[in-house]
Amino acid sequence: MSTQPGLADRHVGRYVLDDLVAERSDTMMWRATDPALQRPVGVRLVPLTDSRCEALYKAARAAASVDDRRLVAVLDVFETDEYLVIVTEWVNGQAWSDLLTERWTAQESMVVAKEVGLALEKAHAAGVTHGRIRPDSVMITDTREVRLRGLGVEAAVWGSEPPGDPKAADLHGVGALLYAGVTLRWPCGPHGTPVAGMRPAPVANGQIPSPSAFEADVPPVVDAICAKSMLTSQGSEPVVGYAGVAECVLALDHALGKQPTSTEADEFAAETEIRADRWVGRLSTAAVFLFAIAGVGLLLWQLLVNNGEPDSGSALADGSASQVAPIPPFEAPLPESSFTIASAQDFDPGGDDAENPDLVEKAIDGRNKTAWVTAPYPNANMNPKEGVGLVLDMGTVRSLRALDLKLYGSGSDFQVLTSKKKPKSLDNYRTVAEITGAGNSIKVRTSKPVRARYVMIWFTGLPYDGANYVGGVRDVKIEG
């Protein structure tokens, strides 16, 4: 039991503190539970006497205003009598720094850099910066998604790196991640901070040599992207840098889409299975290692990032957008029983009105090994669609209090929508819960019974399956 002031009952706001992961720089980091949604969250506690509290609070509010699947979600931030409390999404995975025990291919490294760049591009459009991109700022999830954490917050704690314009620091960070992936060296420069466990790249006349100076098989396009994005780069001849992260993302996108020569294509085809096994094996091993050995390390870093909004039990009090809707105080429910689901139907209003309709019965057949899945998408948010859904019909109006969901993949964003009558459009549904970054199993509760016949699981963000973004439902129970 904690003896820290204000934590005698292991509660802050509505959150239950489960495990004290670490105490660092006068802050405490906990793995906690949100009983309203019965899911783990990260909670960081900063004493109100800490001089960084104001900067952290502002950074948390700013980070919470950016809605992008690639960013680890900021859920809540508030003050108690003793602490600034920062609540974040819990991500199952491992820091990229822990996975860089061997070189990643240029393609793999460019994918990581591009995903981080896309997250930063969305943040910059909202007027928010990260300011301190490092390999441990990047999470590779158990489903092989790339997630960026610490938006604004890490810079508020440790300062921008490189110092100066945080947007320029973000652009530098994208190139530095690419550099690290293909060389296993961190280009911190003469005044930067090294990354623990990674060799610093040497400095010549205040500049960092190109990646190909260390690894002969690094393609010229990687040298060029690093030279145009990093503030400490050194190419064979002077280059004009990118104007911003968006230009760097376009260059990475072009490089990843460039067609190989016939010889390269033959070599790639011969190695495809090996590369796929290597990618999945590396990340699967990381997931096992997380639980077996490095669980404490992951929990530490997981809790270091992102932040949400004031008020001890709600989301952003001043109307700023939050990724998770405010949840009223949770009360323990009476024993629940499952309702019969009479039928299921796919819902695809933004497409051709069909989202794998032949698979919908697999979501309600009581078997976890079968599933209704979405079509594969090239991006998590299914742009230009707003989403896709699965509609469940209980046959009559009932009072529901919870959904017990087994999902396809880990990391889905979805809403639970309800209606007493069969709706004609999405606007006719009532939203009763919003979930960000769900694991492959989650129980969603309502604060009070909801009368409905139709329940829809409306997916707005899909997890990555190694090739595309695909979500779905393996099993669902509606309880009341």
The whole-number pLDDT of residue 219 equals 93
Give the model's confidence band at 233: pLDDT under 50 very low, under 70 low, under 90 confident, else very high.
low
The whole-number pLDDT of residue 350 equals 86
Q: What percent of the chain has pLDDT over 90?
A: 44
The whole-number pLDDT of residue 220 equals 93
Average of per-residue pLDDT values in the chain: 80
The whole-number pLDDT of residue 184 equals 94
Give the model's confidence band at 359: pLDDT under 50 very low, under 70 low, under 90 confident, else very high.
very high
Tallying the residues shown for the chain, one arrives at 480
Q: Is 456 helix (H, G, I), strand (E, B) or coil?
A: strand
pLDDT per residue as tens digits for the range 93-130 = 888 998 998 999 999 999 999 999 999 999 999 999 99
- Per the model's pLDDT, the better-predicted residue between 350 and 237 turns out to be 350
pLDDT per residue as tens digits for the range 180-205 = 999 999 998 766 788 888 888 887 77
Nearest to 193 by CA among 218, 216, 163: 163
The whole-number pLDDT of residue 260 equals 45
pLDDT per residue as tens digits for the range 32-60 = 998 888 888 888 899 999 999 999 999 99
- pLDDT of residue 11 exceeding 80, the answer is yes
State which of 26-40, 197-211, 254-268, 367-381 shows the largest mean pLDDT.
367-381
The whole-number pLDDT of residue 116 equals 97
Nearest to 225 by CA among 111, 72, 347: 111
Q: How far is CA 392 from CA 58, 343, 373, 428, in A?
A: 41, 6, 15, 15
- Per the model's pLDDT, the better-predicted residue between 296 and 150 turns out to be 150
The whole-number pLDDT of residue 440 equals 81
- pLDDT of residue 392 exceeding 70, the answer is yes
Q: How many CB atoms lie within 10 A of CB 379?
A: 14
Residue 93: Cβ-neighbour burial (10 angstroms; 0-12, 13-18, 19+): buried
pLDDT per residue as tens digits for the range 131-175 = 999 999 999 988 788 999 999 988 988 888 888 899 999 999 999
The whole-number pLDDT of residue 70 equals 92
- Per the model's pLDDT, the better-predicted residue between 192 and 347 turns out to be 347
pTM for this predicted structure: 0.56
pLDDT per residue as tens digits for the range 416-454 = 999 999 888 899 999 998 887 777 888 888 878 899 999
How far is it, in rounded angstroms, from Cα 152 to Cα 148? 11
The whole-number pLDDT of residue 394 equals 93
The whole-number pLDDT of residue 234 equals 55
Nearest to 431 by CA among 308, 326, 316, 310: 326
Considering only 72-76, 306-310, 434-438, which range has the smallest mean pLDDT? Answer: 306-310
